[in-house]
Amino acid sequence: MKVKLRKVGVMAITALALMASVTACKSKNKVAERERPADEVLVNVYCSGSDYFSNNKFFRANAVGESMDQSTSKKKAMSNAKADLASAIQTTIKGTIDNYVNSREVNNVEELAERFEGLTREVINQELIGTKTICEKVTKTSTGNYKTYIAIELSGDEMVGKMNERLAKDDMLKVDYDYEKFKDTFEEEMKKLENR
């Protein structure tokens, strides 16, 4: 009999807790709705959101392009997305180079850093051609214009592999270049992308 009463008691407490949490969720939604100004409308942006953020495996970027011509809207979106992607890659590479060069005991630290940056810029420009489109949506506005929403990505592993190929061929860098150390430093910088 005591066991049945305990089970009933536990079930009643569980039911009360569930009802309280459902009520709390509804209250939060109502508060959020009330906080939104009446003259604003929530906009759903295609190819955007957490699924399209950079992470420790991929550099990602998204953008929108608008034009009277559908093809031009896509070109604008792609151009904007590639510019954003290049900027994100450049920031990560800069952090990698700074941390890698500072961790190495090298005589010409400044010259080495400049050489790294120059070569990696070449690699970035070449690799942007190989970006992969992961989302593309086209809409037509009420004014008759086309809007292209696009998201692109580039593999971090492929990027560091291409950089390794290029850096290993440089006679000046060959002496002080350690691929494993560089890759570890790069991966640490890639992890930071997830925390942004």
Average pLDDT, the chain: 78
Residues 83 and 127 in one domain: yes
Residues 89 and 169 in one domain: yes
What percent of the chain stands above pLDDT 70? 71
Residues 38 and 127 in one domain: no
Residues 88 and 108 in one domain: yes
Decide: 92 and 189 in contact? Cβ < 8 Å: yes
8-32 b/e with 16+ CB inside 10 Å = b? eeeeeeeeeeeeeeeeeeeeeeeee
Residues 74 and 133 in one domain: yes
Residues 54 and 27 in one domain: no
The reported pLDDT for the residue numbered 8 is 47
Q: CB 181: neighbour CB atoms within 10 A?
A: 13
Domain that holds residue 19: 1-42
Q: Where are the alpha helices (DSSP H) in the chain?
A: 2-35, 70-103, 109-127, 156-168, 171-174, 179-194
The reported pLDDT for the residue numbered 133 is 95
Classify the C-alpha dihedral 116-189-165-175 as positive or negative: positive
pLDDT band per the 50, 70, 90 thresholds, residue 5: very low
- Where is mean pLDDT largest: 44-58, 140-154, 172-186? 140-154
Q: Is a pLDDT exceeding 50 seen at residue 60?
A: yes
> Structural domain tally of the chain?
2
Residues 16 and 78 in one domain: no
- Cα→Cα distances 119→21, 107, 132, 162, Å: 56, 19, 23, 11
Q: What pTM did the predictor assign?
A: 0.69
Residues 125 and 152 in one domain: yes
Q: What backbone phi and psi angles, to 5 degrees, belong to 144?
A: 95, 0
Lowest average pLDDT, out of 44-48, 65-69, 97-101, 110-114, goes to 110-114
CA–CA dist 167, 56 (Å, integer) = 22
* Amino acid in position 103: S
Residues 28 and 73 in one domain: no
Q: Is a pLDDT exceeding 80 seen at residue 32?
A: no
Residues 66 and 158 in one domain: yes
The reported pLDDT for the residue numbered 146 is 96
Residues 10 and 95 in one domain: no
Residues 31 and 67 in one domain: no
